[in-house]
Amino acid sequence: MEAEMFNKRTDLTQLNIAVGQIRETLGKIIVGQKDTIDFLIAGLLADGHILLEGVPGVAKTLSAKLVAKSIDASFSRIQFTPDLMPSDVLGTSVFDPRNAAFEYRKGPIFGHIILVDEINRAPAKTQSALFEVMEERQITVDGHTYVMDEPFMVLATQNPIEQEGTYRLPEAQLDRFLFKIEVKYPSLEEETAILLNQHQHRLNDALNEVKPVLSVGQIRSCRAIIKGLHVEPKLIEYVAKITHETRNNKSLYLGASPRASLAMVNSAKAFAAMQGRDFVTPEDIIKVAAPVLAHRVMLTPDREMEGLTTSDIVAQIIQKIEIPR
């Protein structure tokens, strides 16, 4: 019986080799930020978009670019600014006098990995241009639908402190991000290592040495494997309890939607696979809970005035609910 169960185990060898290569590649350039790197890889494997939030200079954009560079796929970068229009992102129809007809010219959103830098600098009109493509992997222009090639992933960055010339992201858009990752300041030891690398010109050499370690086909295969990983019914119920509690918590004005529950299950599967397991544990769910939920819920005004964060409330909810064993 044990032999039969062993034969049914999912082979994660190739996936783990690829994850190890990406970690090694990014680790040569990004000092510290191990959690950030892991969440970026998990987002890629779980077919989700990621929002990186942190003060300027903590390697948000560099991390996103390196993830894209480690994949043999097309890459686009869009710098969001207050005067950016939806057509600057999606593309526009241009009249061709030779054919006496309008011809659609694709915008920079067409690609596999899309880096949206300073996403909160564009107004709501431009933000809304991302709604359809982030959720349905397609855009509709002049009555025609254009489907994105797989994989399709949006990596966005924003500064949480600066207010001048920025716009708050709509809740509907935040809900489309699988993770919101808070990129912290480096420790003293990490900052010393960063300075040494820059001083000794190691950074430029390492950047030039970055080579793709995953193909588009391999990403599709890895995603198919992860979707098939086992999740016990009691863990599904555990996820549902966490999400349900956000809707009944007195500290939260807005709770999470079923999309958050799906995101927790999918990202927990990705982390399980990254650990070499073909099954999800409660620890996987706990690890992804805050990055999945914190940007999807809203604090009540009194809790906000007390200095609490949504991550604090998510942590309280996790402590409150009994962990299935």
Does any domain span residue 247? yes
pLDDT per position as a tens digit, 278-296: 899 999 999 999 999 999 9
207 plus 234 within the same structural domain: no
111 plus 254 within the same structural domain: no
Q: Which residues contact 116 (CB under 8 A, 6 or more apart)?
A: 78, 80, 130, 154, 155, 156, 157
DSSP 281: -
Does any domain span residue 36? yes
* Residue that finishes a domain, picked among 190, 218, 246: 218
* Residue that finishes a domain, picked among 172, 189, 218: 218
209 plus 234 within the same structural domain: no
Residue 282 identity (one-letter amino acid):
P
* Averaged pLDDT for residues 49-71: 84
* Averaged pLDDT for residues 144-170: 83
How many Cα neighbours within 13 Å face the side chain of 252? 24
- Mapped to the 3 state alphabet, what secondary structure does 78-101 carry? EECCCCCCHHHHHEEEEEECCCCE
Radius of gyration of the chain (CA): 21
What count of other Cβ atoms lies within 10 Å of the Cβ of residue 98? 6
For residue 63, give Cα distances in angstroms to 53, 66, 69, 83, 263: 12, 5, 10, 26, 22
> What pLDDT sits at residue 285?
95
d(CA 105, CA 203): 37
Nearest to 89 by CA among 120, 133, 51: 133
* Residue that finishes a domain, picked among 173, 192, 218: 218
Does any domain span residue 167? yes
DSSP string for 189-220: HHHHHHHHHHHTTHHHHHHHH----EEHHHHH
Does any domain span residue 270? yes
Say if CB 113 and CB 66 are below 8 A apart.
no
d(CA 139, CA 64): 23
Band (pLDDT 50/70/90 cuts) for residue 162 is: low
Pairing of strands 144-147, 75-79: unpaired
> What pLDDT sits at residue 166?
79
198 plus 233 within the same structural domain: no
Does any domain span residue 223? no
Does any domain span residue 5? no
Band (pLDDT 50/70/90 cuts) for residue 319 is: very high
276: domain CATH number is 1.10.8.80
Pairing of strands 49-53, 153-158: parallel
Residue 138 identity (one-letter amino acid):
Q
3-state secondary structure of 160: coil
24 plus 160 within the same structural domain: yes
> What pLDDT sits at residue 7?
41
Number of domains within the chain: 2
43 plus 168 within the same structural domain: yes
Band (pLDDT 50/70/90 cuts) for residue 262 is: very high
49: domain CATH number is 3.40.50.300
Does any domain span residue 136? yes
With 50 as the cut, is the pLDDT of residue 140 above it? Answer: yes
Interhelix angle 216-227/13-27, rounded to 10 degrees, is 120
137 plus 19 within the same structural domain: yes
211 plus 110 within the same structural domain: yes
> What pLDDT sits at residue 203?
61
Domain that holds residue 304: 229-320
With 90 as the cut, is the pLDDT of residue 260 above it? Answer: yes
153 plus 255 within the same structural domain: no
88 plus 49 within the same structural domain: yes
d(CA 177, CA 159): 16
66 plus 149 within the same structural domain: yes
